[in-house]
A and B are shown apart, each in its own frame.
Chain A
Amino acid sequence: MQARPYQVCRSCVMDTTDLQIQFDAVGVCDHCRVFQQKIQPSWVTDERGRQKLNAMVERIRAHGKGRDFDCIIGMSGGIDSSYLLHLAKTELNLRPLVFHVDAGWNSQEAVNNIERLIDQLGLDLYTDVIDWEEMKDLQLAFFKSGVPHIDTPQDHAFFATMYKFAEQHNVRSILTGANYSTECIRNPIEWMYYQSDLVQLQDIHRHFGTRPLVKFPTTSILRHKVYLPYMKRIEVVTPLNFLPYNKSEAMRLLADVYGWQPYPQKHFESRFTRFYEGYWLPQRFGYDVRRVQFSSLIMTGQMSRDDAIERLKTPPLDDLTIAQEKQFVASKLGITVGDLEGYFKLPKRSFRDFRSQENVYRIGAWLLKSLGLVRGGKR
């Protein structure tokens, strides 16, 4: 297949490292167009948004009457979930149970931030610790498979555990920090395939795992997009989409009020994700997720395109840090840096090389978009 000539969007900073990107006649990419045409028109953060949010909050409070908590909030220690916590308790007057999944890669800043927020907001925390031997084996299986989306085990475990808890304890509302403001442009699936695709996860495990997955929590797209919402009436709510959410203001507020410590880059609250997004993905595949993150901020007026271009000139992690992180990751996974470098040199594969439910996602997305229930999203 002929290589495309390099092109970068004139409006955001997505470029042809997204293999499926399309540009229109004026050089604006389809990510931007989808945002402008499909997402932006119905994304309301003014009074109307506030009203919708209030209605949701009332519902959540009603369901939670007489219980110790009225919703659960998935908390990674990152900016979005941290701000959500603050909002939920201080403005929305909800009584959340803070839910944290420990996959073994918590950074020190994340642990500190979670602790600070819990203490100062007077909230209860529940953690689920993923069995490390199974987690490690699954992560190594993903390395050995050669696919780009090696952070799937963490992501998958996070959601699966939350859904499982919600179902077991009959919790009707799960709040997450997902938001258009910093995530309206999504990662292309070539870069990060759907972490919830259980068929893919199991196939990769079948090929390269060395021990059975017994304790590792799993979920599937049909389970949490159909069964849980429609059968068990468990809904996932994204409050940050109904109010103006400005990332730097949120960070400032959290720092001032709680002494919250920022991370060098989005998602760096997990040491593995830092390694993955800061080194593995860009250097092995040429996929720099900062393009996606900065493009979202550009689209929502929180960053200038020039600023993004400038920042993209330097790699996310310098060589010394990369060497240290490789050492840390290898040591933690019980392999040598040499082994890790071996995985780095494997032939590059994609999600298509393994079994998947991609069809289900495609059909489902088409269906939901046709029904007007969902806008934009990953291609």
Chain B
Amino acid sequence: MLRPRISPCLLIHKGGLVKTVRFTHPKYVGDPINAVRIFNDKEVDEIIVLDIDATVAGRKPDYELIRRLAAECRMPLCYGGGVTSKNEFERIVSLGVEKVAVGSACVSDPDLISRAAAAVGAQSVVAVVDVRLHEKTGQYTVFTRNGLVDSGIAARDFAVRMRSLGAGELLVNSIDRDGTRQGYDMDLIADVRASVDCPITVLGGAGSLKDIGEMIARFGIIGVSAGSLFVFKGVYNAVLINYPKRAERESLISASL
């Protein structure tokens, strides 16, 4: 039986690992390679690494970092940040990365998704859907460039479009909930889930394992990702990499499914 995936999401800023709140106030939490190493030993399902500077700074993906991450990673790796072309998809995949995530670029150049899927296969193409609840329209809207630019596109429409162009997976990320630990945005996720048939991974707001359990109970086979939850511990937000042990995951999954 295929299992729901529980994946840590690591953000890279200026070469270091950071955690943000609503996509701002990056707080340094350590070295990405060391974090990957510790997650390796904890045998996590898969890991997502996003370079949050690249697009905004107009930079290309950091291939040296990607190469080191891919070499170190003993679990499936999804990498995103600064990807704008099919060639970059190919290059990153050939470095040993299972999936490549793209966000801002597929708003300005949606066809990139189909070109990339044709080249590397749909299974390696992840469309990132960074979403804010728009103040004026009250609609879930896609924002790009690390949450700074309002694309004007509704999240659901964007999801459907990306899927039809050939994305193998959608990463649905709630900017409003990022780093808040108040729980996932159920309405947003339910809306997207109902509109596409490909695997989706949700991110933004996980505060406890209970939140993860709720997602699995509601949606069954789904990717559940979290940043703060697996990096911080306790009231002082002590940086301590953590992840539920296999037994905990098994009971979480069987209790929820």
- Please tell me if the beta carbons of B30 and A129 are within 8 angstroms of each other in the complex: yes
Do residues B236 and A124 form an inter-chain contact, with CB atoms below 8 A? yes
Task: Mark out the residues of chain B between 5 and 56 whose CB falls within 8 Å of any chain A CB in the assembled complex.
Answer: 15-16, 28-31, 33-34, 37-38, 41-42
Distance in Å: Cβ of B245 to nearest Cβ of chain A: 9
Contact of A125 with B by CB under 8 A: yes
Known pairs A108-B38, A108-B41, A132-B16; A331 contacts B239 (CB<8 A): no
Known contacts A106-B34, A108-B38, A331-B33, A125 near B28 by CB under 8 Å? no
Stretch from A36-44, A87-95, A110-118, A367-375 at the B interface: A110-118
A80-105, CB under 8 A of B: which get 1 and which 0? Answer: 00000000000000000100101011
Q: Confirm or deny: A126 has a beta carbon within 8 angstroms of a beta carbon on chain B.
A: yes
Asked whether any CB of chain A lies closer than 8 Å to the CB of B134, the reply is no
**Structural contact, B233 and A115, CB atoms closer than 8 A:** yes
- B238 beta carbon closer than 8 Å to chain A: yes
Specify which of A127, A133, A331 is in contact with B238 (CB 8 Å cutoff): A127
Pairwise interchain contact B238-A100, C-beta atoms closer than 8 A: yes
Nearest chain B CB to A132's CB is how many angstroms away?
5
Q: Which residues of the partner chain B approach A97 to less than 8 Å between Cβ atoms?
A: 236
Q: Does A332 contact B (CB under 8 A)?
A: yes
- Chain B nearest CB, measured from A259 CB (Å): 10
Chain A: interface residue total (CB-CB under 8 A): 21
Cβ A332 vs Cβ B34 within 8 A: yes
Kindly count the residue-residue contacts between A and B in the assembled complex, taking CB atoms under 8 Å apart: 60
| Residue in B closest to A123 when the chains form the complex, CB atoms | B234
Are B33 and A332 within 8 A (Cβ)? Answer: yes
* CB-defined contacts of A131 to chain B, threshold 8 Å: 16, 28
Partner of A129, one of B28, B33, B37, B41: B28
Taking a contact as CB atoms closer than 8 A, the residue among A104, A114, A115, A125 that contacts B30 in the complex is: A104
Contacts of A115 in B (CB 8 A): 233, 240, 242
Interface residues on B, range: 20 to 34
| Binary per-residue interface labels of chain A (260-277) against chain B in the complex, 1 for a CB within 8 Å, 0 otherwise | 000000000000000000
Taking a contact as CB atoms under 8 Å apart, the answer to whether A104 and B31 are in contact is yes
In this complex, the member of B28, B30, B38, B42 whose beta carbon has the largest number of chain A beta carbons within 10 angstroms is B30
Does B68 touch A at the CB level, under 8 Å? yes
Q: How far is the CA of A124 from the CA of B235 in the complex (A)?
A: 7
Q: Would you call A125 and B34 a contact (CB within 8 A)?
A: no
Interface centre among A97, A106, A115, A118 (most CB of B within 10 A): A106
Contacting pair A108 B242 (CB below 8 A)? no
Q: A108-B41, A115-B233, A133-B16 are in contact. Are A125 and B240 (CB under 8 A)?
A: yes
B72 within 8 A of A: yes
Check A118 against B38 for contact (C-beta < 8 Å).
no
Query: Given known contacts A104-B31, A118-B233, A332-B33, is B238 in contact with A125 (CB within 8 Å)?
Result: yes
Q: A125-B240, A127-B239 are in contact. Are A104 and B29 (CB under 8 A)?
A: no
A332–B37 CA distance with the chains assembled, in angstroms: 11
Evaluate contact between B31 and A125: CB separation under 8 angstroms: no
Q: Which residues of B contact A127 (CB under 8 A)?
A: 236, 238-240
Residue B221 at the A interface, CB < 8 A? no
A108 with B37, Cβ < 8 A, contacts A100-B240, A127-B239, A129-B28 known? yes
**Alpha-carbon distance A118/B242, docked complex (angstroms):** 12
B241 at the interface (CB under 8 A from A): yes
Residues of chain B contacted by A331 (CB below 8 angstroms): 33, 68, 71-72
B239 touching A102 by the CB < 8 A rule? Answer: yes
Q: Pick the residue among A102, A125, A332 that contacts B234 (CB under 8 A).
A: A125
Docked complex Cα distance between A102 and B239 (Å): 8
> Given the complex of chains A and B, what is the CA–CA distance between A114 and B235 in angstroms?
16
Q: Which residues of A contact B15 (CB under 8 A)?
A: 133
Binding site for A on B (CB under 8 A): 15-16, 28-31, 33-34, 37-38, 41-42, 68, 71-72, 233-236, 238-242
Q: A124-B235, A129-B28, A129-B239 are in contact. List 7 more A-B contacts (CB 8 A).
A: A106-B38, A108-B42, A126-B238, A127-B238, A131-B16, A132-B31, A332-B31
21 of the cross-chain contacts (CB-CB < 8 Å) are: A100-B240, A106-B34, A106-B38, A108-B38, A108-B41, A108-B42, A111-B240, A115-B233, A115-B242, A118-B233, A118-B234, A124-B235, A124-B236, A125-B233, A125-B236, A125-B240, A127-B238, A129-B29, A132-B30, A133-B15, A331-B68
